Amino acid sequence: MKPVRVFAAAFMTLVFSAGTVLAMMPLITDDAGTQGRGKFQVEMGYELQQLDGSGTSQQINSLTTILTGGASKNVDIIVTIPALVLTSKYFGGKTTASGLGDISLEVKWRFYEYDGFSFAVKPGLFLPSGDSDAGLGNGDVAPRIMFIATKELEPFTFHANVGFTSNQNQVEQNEDIWHVSVAAVYKLADKLSLLTNGGVEGSHSRSSDIPESFVIGGLYYNFAENLDFDIGAKGWFSDSESGWSFLAGTTFRF
């Protein structure tokens, strides 16, 4: 496998395991909430990632824009647009690539609510808008579906996700990827919340059957009625590589 292919596969592992399922930033696990008809939300998230493997390392700066529009009371349309700068070091060499990553299109349908519980389903597609040869995308259309549950129990809110990605790709990864994750939000004060998140999913590497895992901790501050800020840290682990990230973002609703 050429070095650039190694980096592309490693990067897309981070993207699929922790970067494209953004929910209430900086969480990976999504919530079952929707915006409501005619309402919109814009999320801007910055992530600095460091990935270390055998003889290789990567630093990834990503700025992700998530546009969410309420098609009806219980249905949202979601577009996620990542912009990336990827620096890779391998066997004494170094490469840098930058540009658009793989855009995703999703629909979230909240289909049931009762006694603090809410359930939703979110099908979607990852589009090959990123340059797979440069490590910025996976080179193929990849459909995905996620099942979401949320339970409100003041001062806590809990979320759970179970999903599957048909990871069609040209960067030599596994094509069938399952995902299971949970998150908890604890309201520390009127405007401040503590966030925790963890999960596992099927290995992206064709050479391993060992699941990959991640854990996140962070804070979420409601600056104004329609404006939020967040900050957090993420660790990511597999049998051959490990990584960490610093996360920061803002959310605006209108």
pLDDT digits (tens, 9 = 90+) for 233-242: 999 887 766 7
Count the neighbouring beta carbons within 10 Å of the beta carbon of residue 81.
Answer: 15
Can you tell me the distance from the alpha carbon of 44 to that of 103, in angstroms, rounded to the nearest whole number? 14
For 92-139, the pLDDT digits (tens) are 677 788 889 999 999 999 999 999 999 999 999 999 998 888 778 888
CB 46 within 8 A of CB 62: yes
* Mean pLDDT across 28-40: 96
* Mean pLDDT across 139-153: 95
- Residue for token pair 């496998």: 1
Scored b (16 or more CB within 10 A) or e, 222-243 reads beeeeebebebebebbbeebeb
Can you tell me the distance from the alpha carbon of 141 to that of 244, in angstroms, rounded to the nearest whole number? 27
Name the residue type at position 243: G
For 46-105, the pLDDT digits (tens) are 999 887 766 677 788 999 999 999 999 999 999 999 998 878 776 667 778 888 999 999
pLDDT at 1: 44
Look up the domain containing 160 and give its range: 3-253
pLDDT at 235: 93
pTM, whole model, 2 decimals? 0.86
Can you tell me the distance from the alpha carbon of 134 to that of 138, in angstroms, rounded to the nearest whole number? 10
pLDDT at 35: 96
Whichever domain contains 247, its CATH number is 2.40.128.130
Q: pLDDT at residue 223 above 90?
A: yes
Number of domains making up the chain:
1
